[in-house]
Each structure stands twice: as structure tokens, then as C-alpha cells.
Amino acid sequence: MTNTDTEQTPVVCQGREAEAGWRAWPARVSRLGNALTIERALPQKQLRLIGPWCFLDHIGPVMFDDGHKGVDVGPHPHIGLQTVTWLLEGELLHKDSLGYEQVIRPGQLNLMTAGHGISHSEESPPDRSTRLHGVQFWIALPAAEANRAPAFEHYAEVPRQSLAVMDLHLVVGRHAGQAAPARVWSPLVGAELVAREPGTETLALESGFEHGLMLLQGEASLDGTPMLPGTLYHASPGCSAVRLQVSADARVFLLGGEPLGEELLLWWNFVGRSTEEIRQARTDWVEQDRPDGRFGQVAAYAGARLPTPDLAADIRLK
Ligand code: MN
């Protein structure tokens, strides 16, 4: 999707000092169009990154009224990141400047690698369900891969692990000796945990990773503390396990990764490392209509592309 914050101030991301245990970070409530409420859990002022994960939107759950078009986000650009889309309910239709058109449904993965530059749109397909519930994340590409060629991957299913009372859907990265097939560029994990029955799950964690957990549905407690909805829980590296007590309908998202160890600039839908890089990407989107444009054209989308937020000349991206 697109970063809809009205005030587009640059965000500097860097790793955090180690802290013990899990700390709660309430998400901000944001809106996408007039139908969708989004809980934006990353970035936050004091928590910019979890490993390479730099953006976390919890979308819905929302029930669309009869006749409502649903989601309609026109073409917009990205650089320097990967977008991970994962749904619990409903459908989304992705179209991009590489020519991909892909409907995603629950249990499937859309992974878009922006690299040097891509543009895409996201819509509710015509034969959509009335409900939509999902998550979309951005993973910052490490410096050595930030300018790679753009790519898009769709997986109709992802690896599953059956744990004590939960199923783990390995969306990206690795967990407990298993690796998901989607291409990522730094050591990380992204997984949905779905309860099969109420009970206690002791989940092994990679102790070199920092981690985040977010309750998407149902009820759960984290090492004995109830998890609040709309809240991201973060732990610094050093955790090798976590104990989850879950209700029968609980769904929890786990993300983690090795601390990136790089300072990033986030502005609008761009992840970069210098003022010049961000300014150039913005200029390239403004001048997008050239036939050889950096971000290509989303030819399959009927409608206007998203306008570019202002980037004041006196803003220093630091
Ligand atoms: Mn997007």
C-alpha cells in the first residue's frame, strides 16, 4: 500500500540499545481512503526497525458496505524495500510496472521487491468478499541489495509447522531449521501463528534476532501478560523462547531479524540512505510520464497514479 501520513516528515531509523523482556508499543491508527482503518505499528518515534522490518500495517478487519468499491490505491512508487502482503480474510488485487497482475487470498504471499524502483496499485477485485483483514510489512533491503532490479513473487501456499497448540505459517525467512521459499536479503523471520485449540505454546526464537509480536485476532498472553490489540510487542536480541497462552481463535504475527546495523531514511514510500537518493526518487516519480521512466507504468490500472507529497527544499533529511 502507500504511506498515507499527511505530514511526510523524514524518519531516521537505527537500531536500539538492548532491553530486557517484551515492551509494548501501541500502534497509531491511520486511515486509507474512507473505508479502511489501519493500525500502523512501525515505524514509531522510538522504535524504527525490528531487524530489517521498517513498516507494519495491520489492515482491518473491515466490512465493506454493499456497493462500496473496497480498497483502491492507485499506482505509486517504491524504492529500497520489499513489501510483504498477507491476508487473514478477503482478497486484494496487485498490479505492477513489471506487468504482474495477482489476486492474493488468505494463506498466500505477495512479495514485491522494489530495489531500484517499481510502481504498483492495490485494489479489491471485482468479485471480492465483504470483509478484508490482513497485514502489510516493508522489509528494508540491506545497502548492498538496495538498488537491485525490481521483482515480484506470489506463493499460493507457504511452509507450515505444527506446534503444540498452534500452526506456524512461515511467510518469509526461516524458523526452527526451515526456510520459506520467498527471496529475502538478510537473516529474518515473518510468520503467522494460528491457534488450533486453547492452550500454552512455548515458541523457540532465534536468540540473535530482535523480535516483534502482534495479536491479530482472539486473545493471547505473552510470558503471562495479556496482549492488547493494536499493540506491537518488541524484544531485543537475546530471547531464545517465548510463552504464549492463546484462545481457540487466536492469531499472532511474529517478525524478527538480525539488527540491520544501518541508518535508513524513510520518506513516503521510499527507503534510502541519503537526501540525494530520496530527492532523486521523488523527482523521478514527478517526471514519471517519460517513456523510459524509472518506475515504469502500471498499464493494467484504470485511473490516476498517486500524487507526490511535497518535500520542502529546506527539509534536511536527518
Ligand atoms: Mn505500496
Expressed in angstroms and rounded, the spacing between residue 229 Cα and the centre of ligand 1 is 24
Length of the chain: 318
CA–CA separation, 182 and 159 (whole Å):
11
Expressed in angstroms and rounded, the spacing between residue 102 Cα and the centre of ligand 1 is 14
Expressed in angstroms and rounded, the spacing between residue 268 Cα and the centre of ligand 1 is 10
pLDDT value of position 8: 58
Expressed in angstroms and rounded, the spacing between residue 197 Cα and the centre of ligand 1 is 35
Expressed in angstroms and rounded, the spacing between residue 78 Cα and the centre of ligand 1 is 7
pLDDT value of position 210: 97
**146: pLDDT confidence band, cut at 50, 70 and 90?**
very high
Mean pLDDT of 234-242: 94
pLDDT value of position 5: 65
Residues 103-116 pLDDT 10s: 999 999 999 999 99
Expressed in angstroms and rounded, the spacing between residue 119 Cα and the centre of ligand 1 is 8
Expressed in angstroms and rounded, the spacing between residue 135 Cα and the centre of ligand 1 is 12
Domains in the chain: ranges and CATH = 27-257 (2.60.120.10)
Expressed in angstroms and rounded, the spacing between residue 138 Cα and the centre of ligand 1 is 9
Higher model confidence: residue 204 or residue 9?
204
**205: pLDDT confidence band, cut at 50, 70 and 90?**
very high
pLDDT value of position 36: 82
The per-residue pLDDT of the chain, averaged, comes to 91
Residue 3 has pLDDT above 90, yes or no: no
Residues 16-31 pLDDT 10s: 444 568 999 999 998 8
Q: Is this model's pTM higher than 0.85 or not?
A: yes
